[in-house]
Structure 1
Amino acid sequence: MAARASKTVIYAALLGNTLIALSKYGAAWLTGSAAMLSEAVHSTVDTGNQALLLYGLKRAARPADAEHPFGHGLQLYFWVFVVAVLIFGIGAGLSLYHGIEKVRHPQPIENVYVSYIVLGLAIVFEGCVWVVAFREFRRSQGNFGWVSAIRRSKDPVVFTVLLEDSAAMLGLAAAMAGVFLSQALDLPVLDGVASIIIGLILAITAAFLAYEAQSLLTGEAMAPEERAEIRRIAALEPGVVGINEMLTMHFGPREVLITLSLEFSEQLSAIDVQNAVSSIERRIRTAHPEVSRVFVESQSLLAHRTAALARLPQTADARSQNLAEAPSETATKQRLQ
């Protein structure tokens, strides 16, 4: 359901930006407006970005194989990062270039009414696409603010389109103001200033998207409250006396890996431990359907810390000292996290 919703948002943005880009190029040719040309480039980049997001969704949906045993979900995060680079490199770069050139060599805008018509239509089209993206975003936002919801989201498609469209609406407002003021005040240089403002808006948007994409691409954990709930599920299982370690990682919006190192009661048989592990996995997947894999390790706290210390790059003397300071088996029975 979430994947279909993401595609609906992308298709709406793709259609809208294609129509808007064509109209803006025509208006830029007729008027000679640098701000209009920057907006045309902006819409072209957005159109290409939507195509890349669709491609990323297709690549991420491929099943796991021998070379990618955890699936291809990270492909989506990679293509979102590419989108951010394109917004910055092409959209922001060309807008800043055209704006600076227009400031250096200002020229009056011709057929200014064409700019008003096209910008007005673009605001209507972009507004419709923005509403579609905003509604989908609100469904997953919960009680968090905009920035918090974006930072917590592991599905970047909807908020990427929403941020692009928000930047587009701000860019259109800047272009409209630039065209109006350059004509009303007879200062063609203001058209170039508007183009520079559009470039800065795109640069800020790209930087934020790139930051979020790299965080997802390098492996984000589940949200803190979700991790706490998984710990609670494991701790409530009969026979579990301690949680040594829990690691989680998103390999995609709906692909989560969980590893648990648990200490079980010595009174449990091997079959009892096996049944407890199966029960924990089942309850975790019921509570969190996005969890695709759960790995549970049965290990005492002392054995877990011994293994952890052995992995550290230490000298033999330091490792022996750390092992001597590790808690005893009796101490491990007194804890339950």
Structure 2
Amino acid sequence: MAHGGGTKAIVAALAANLGIAVTKFIAYLLTHSSSMLAESVHSLADSGNQALLLLGGRRARRAADARHPFGYGRERYVYAFIVSIVLFTLGGVFALYEAWHKWEDPHPIDAWQWVPVVVLVAAIVMEGFSFRTAIHEANPLRGSQSWTQFIRRAKAPELPVVLLEDFGALVGLVLALGGVSMTLVTDDGRWDAAGTACIGVLLVIIAIVLALETKSLLLGESATEQDVDAIEAALVGEGVRSLIHLRTLHLGPEELLVAAKIEMAPTATAAEIAAAIDAAEQRVRAAVPIATAIYLEPDLRHKAVEPRSAG
């Protein structure tokens, strides 16, 4: 299974969000719509998030050194976690504050009434293109998994982040369009505030999901079931009788640590054991190319002692 970072999807989302953020903010200045302000801040936060994901991917490519002998692959997880915090604060919490402020002091959209509708429809089209790009990038990696399974199991955080951000942006735009439209029809600014509140709740939920999933990656996740099965099958072969136990840990999306205890023949010489270990490592790397660090401990399988019968 590939573990791509979806750079094309990140760049597409960044370009779309920068253009959308500027357009929404101009619409807010003209109409003073709280939904437009919340959406412009949301798009600006998303743009910053995509920049963070690109920065994390670049820093993760640094070579291993004495202080970090396993490399910097987990930097991608760190920056993805920062993204969830930015989305929660700048996106969700700000939108909820703006909704409360507008509800306390509601006012209709008196000028440039057509502007927010046109801007939101155009934003839906641009965001839809970004979402389509993310889906196209994710489909080869997703395979037969459902979207929920893909987001929960993906080891590369970038695509799940972009997918959730784009999905949240599209739903948020529809909510904003509903709030603005009802405000224009009824001349009641509380519809605008309600749309803004719904956007805030949506972004908070997405941010929490991202934080929980990224936290799991930061703590250290094992290899996927498919990779574990492939490693177990590859370890047993010439000179290796059986697998006693296996531990795996993702050092980064494309870097996997493999530690295993393997059973050797009781009569094997040191040279035969060394040759068997080298061959096993080659088989594992051929089966799972992201297995960059492999540590194998030769051992003998000890029979369990039969308990004595009472009496």
TM range (shorter): over 0.9
RMSD: 1.8
Does 1:215 pair with 2:216? yes
Structure with the bigger percentage of helix? 1
In 1, are the aligned partners of 2:265 and 2:300 still within 8 Å (CA)?
no
- In structure 2, C-alpha distance between the alignment counterparts of 1:182 and 1:119, rounded to whole Å: 14
* Shift in CA distance, 62/3, structure 1 to aligned 2, threshold 3 Å: farther
For normalisation by structure 1, the TM-score amounts to 0.87
* TM-score normalised per structure 2: 0.94
- Which string of whole-angstrom CA distances, capped at 9 and with x for unpartnered residues, describes residues 25-52 of structure 1? 0001100100110000000000100111
Deviation string 1:299-325 (CA, Å, 9 cap, x unpaired) is 2345xxxxxxxxxxxxxxxxxxxxxxx
Alignment partner, residue 327 of structure 1: 304
Instruction: Please give the alpha-carbon distance, in whole angstroms, between the structure 2 residues aligned to 1:98 and 1:29.
Output: 15
Contact 2:3 2:156 in 1 (8 A): no
Q: How does 1:97-246 map to 2 (within 5 A)?
A: 97-110=97-110, 111-235=112-236, 237-246=237-246
Unaligned residue ranges in structure 2 (runs of 5+): 307-311
Write the deviation string for residues 255-293 of structure 1: whole angstroms up to 9, x where unpaired: 001001112111221111111111111111111111111
CA offsets 1:69-92 (integer angstroms, 9 cap, x no match): 001001100000000011001110
Could you tell me which residue of structure 2 aligns to residue 20 of structure 1?
20
Q: How does 1:298-317 map to 2 (within 5 A)?
A: 298-302=298-302
State how far apart, in whole Å, the 2-side matches of 1:187 and 1:207 are. Answer: 32
Q: For 1:115 and 1:195, how far apart are their aligned partners in 2?
A: 14
SS at match of 1:297: strand
Shift of 1:152: 1.4
The AA in structure 2 aligned to 1:8 is K
Structure with the bigger RCO (C-alpha within 8 Å, sep 6+) is 2
How much has 1:4 moved relative to structure 2? 8.0
CA apart distance, 1:3: 8.6
Aligned length: 305
2:212 aligned partner, one-letter code: Y
> Does the 8 Å contact 1:175/1:191 carry over to 2?
yes
For structure 1, the residue ranges without an aligned partner over 5 or more in a row are 303-325, 331-337
> What are the residue-to-residue correspondences of 1:36-47 with 2, within 5 Å?
36-47=36-47
CA contact (8 A) 1:5 1:136 kept: no
- Amino acid of the residue matched to residue 152 of structure 1? R
Partner of 1:72: 72
* Match in the other structure for 1:289: 289
